[in-house]
Each structure stands twice: as structure tokens, then as C-alpha cells.
Amino acid sequence: MLCGLVALVVVPMFLGGQWVQILTSTACFALAAAGVGFMYSRLGMVSLAQVGLMGVGGWVMLRMNHGFNLPFELNLAVAATVTMVFGWVMALPALRMRGLYLALITLMAASGLEIVFSTFRFPNGGEGFWGVMPSLIAPFRRPWLATGNEAYLRYTVVMLLVGFLLIEAHRRTAPGRAWAMIRRSEAAAMASGVNVVYYKAWAFGLSGLLAGMAGGLLAGTLGLLDPATFRASESIMLFALAVVGGARHWLGAVLAAVLYRVLPGLFNNWGLDADLALVIFGAALLHALMTAPDGLAGQLLGLARRKEGSAT
């Protein structure tokens, strides 16, 4: 823990501006990956709209920033809440479905969001409801204690930790117990008095909340967003990498985001095509499905436990 805190304070000082932004976006996508990962690990539900929901949170964050003179934290809370409600609404037709049908419905929702973002763009300080004006980039107000890029990276990592703690709090309380019963058998859960639809909606809402936080924080990275970031295919990619990283542990979400954002950045620095990362993603997914049901995080933690056991 102490080493992590020292790294959080010291490491950003030695990074270039590009890598500070890459790591900031990595923390944002780790938060979104945690949301889609916990739904899969706790309930067996596959949501392929998480990056689209990030776009909803980012849109609301930008609109609040440019349209109202409110603090960053309040804007972020509004963005997360709106995205949570949007996740509930999106989940309504899917709550009684599972497996492939649930995945297809969320993928259709992600495709619809992709079309909306491409058509209407993201707010940039213009007038009207959509707040879009060509060639205009209005200033974005960051938190007063994190106006610089390095400080904002630290702020984003702290918010990522808040998201992990929120998931852990749910896992240890009534929702976590209900989700565990539903994962084993929906029929047995209903026979035990568990409201299956209610707790599935709760899971969608929590995942949407985390996606909204991630999108709002991502909007603060550069003060603008590109519709190409929120394509439906990116939601599929993020879910696949959440499985590769390990959906059952917070480390899996971090590994998923590192693969998603850091690896292409390294390829660019090395003069290679960033799309080569897709080849590695595919090989890593096959590896996870065939030999690592708990993902890379499960393998790393198991290796650490074995080494600790042999040392004692």
C-alpha cells in the first residue's frame, strides 16, 4: 500500500505529457472495466454497452461543464447518476433474458449510442441543447485541487479506488449475497425470496454508475471527446479484455485497461502499428479461455501465493 502511494505521488513527475494522458485514460477505462467485469463474475451477465455508457457520462459531463457554473465534483455526480438511470432503462427489456440474447440487446444499445454520438457530436461550448459549434473548444474546468495533468492523473486514480471500494461494499452486503444466489440458480434464488429482476437492475445501475464516472473523468482528460472512442466494437473489446484480465478481481480491471490503452501507446512509441495489439488481445483471450478461467489476475495472484507459501 505504501509503495503504491509513493508511486502515485512520484511516478507522474517523470512522465511526459503524452504518457500522463494515456495513464489517465487507462484509469478511466479500468473503472469501466470493473463495472462490466463485476456483472459477468457475480451474475454471469454479458453487457456489451459499457463504452457506450461511458460516452453518455462524458456527454453529460461536458454539457454540465459548458452550460452551468457548477463544481467539477457535482458535474461528475450528475453524469454518473444520469448514466446509472440510462443503464436501468437500457436493462428493462433485457432483465428477463440471459446469455446471447442479453449480449445482443446491449450490443444493439451500444450501436444506437454510436450513431447518436457520430451524428450529434459531443458538447464543446456551443449554444442549444446539444452545445456543439464547429471549430470551438471551450475551456474545461477541472477540480480545483487537480488542475494540472499530473494532479488530474492522481485524482483519477483516487476515483478508481473509490469505484473499487464501491464494488467491494456491494459484494460484502445484501446485494452481493443476492447476486451470488442468482448466479448459482435463478429458480433457487426466487424460491428463497430474492427479487431477481430487482437485483439484476441494481447490477445494471451500478455498472452504469461506474461507466458514467469513467466517461466524466475521461472528458476531463482533454476537455473534449471524440465519437470514435465510443464505437460499439470498443465495448466488445473492453468486455473481452475484462475476461482476459480477470473479471473476479480488481487487478483484472487494471490489467484490462493497461492492455487496452498502454499497449497500443507502446507500439506507437516503438514505430509499430497500434493495431498489432489486436493480435495480442486475441491470443490473450484464447489463453484466458483455455488455461486461465480467472484471467491473468488469477494466475498472477496464484503465483504470488505459491511463492509466499514456498518462502515460509
CA distance 251 to 13: 24
Q: For position 9, what pLDDT does the model report?
A: 58
Q: For position 3, what pLDDT does the model report?
A: 47
Answer yes or no: are the C-beta atoms of 251 and 164 closer than 8 Å: no
Answer yes or no: are the C-beta atoms of 132 and 2 closer than 8 Å: no
CA distance 5 to 161: 12
Q: For position 59, what pLDDT does the model report?
A: 96
Q: For position 234, what pLDDT does the model report?
A: 94
Nearest to 115 by CA among 50, 55, 29: 55
Q: For position 55, what pLDDT does the model report?
A: 96
CA atoms within 13 A on the CB side of 179: 24
> Which pTM does this prediction carry?
0.92
Q: What are phi and psi of 249, to 5 degrees?
A: -135, 150
CA distance 155 to 211: 17
CA distance 253 to 20: 19
Is 87 exposed, middle or buried (CB count within 10 Å of its CB: 0-12, 13-18, 19+)? Answer: buried
Answer yes or no: are the C-beta atoms of 71 and 226 closer than 8 Å: no
**Grid coordinates standing for 142?**
477541472
Instruction: From first to last of the 312 residues of the chain, give the pLDDT tens digit.
Output: 444 554 555 666 667 678 899 999 999 999 999 999 999 988 888 889 999 999 999 999 999 999 888 899 999 999 999 999 988 887 777 666 666 788 888 899 999 999 999 999 999 888 888 888 887 778 888 998 888 999 999 999 999 999 999 999 999 999 999 998 988 888 888 888 888 888 888 999 999 999 999 999 999 998 889 999 999 999 999 999 999 998 888 999 999 999 999 998 888 888 877 778 888 888 888 877 777 778 888 888 877 777 777 666
The residue type found at 68 is F
Q: Kindly give, in sequence order, each residue whose CB lies less than 8 Å from that of residue 198, ignoring residues fewer than 6 positions away.
A: none
Q: For position 1, what pLDDT does the model report?
A: 44
C-alpha distance from residue 185 to each of 43, 178, 179, 194 (Å): 10, 11, 10, 11
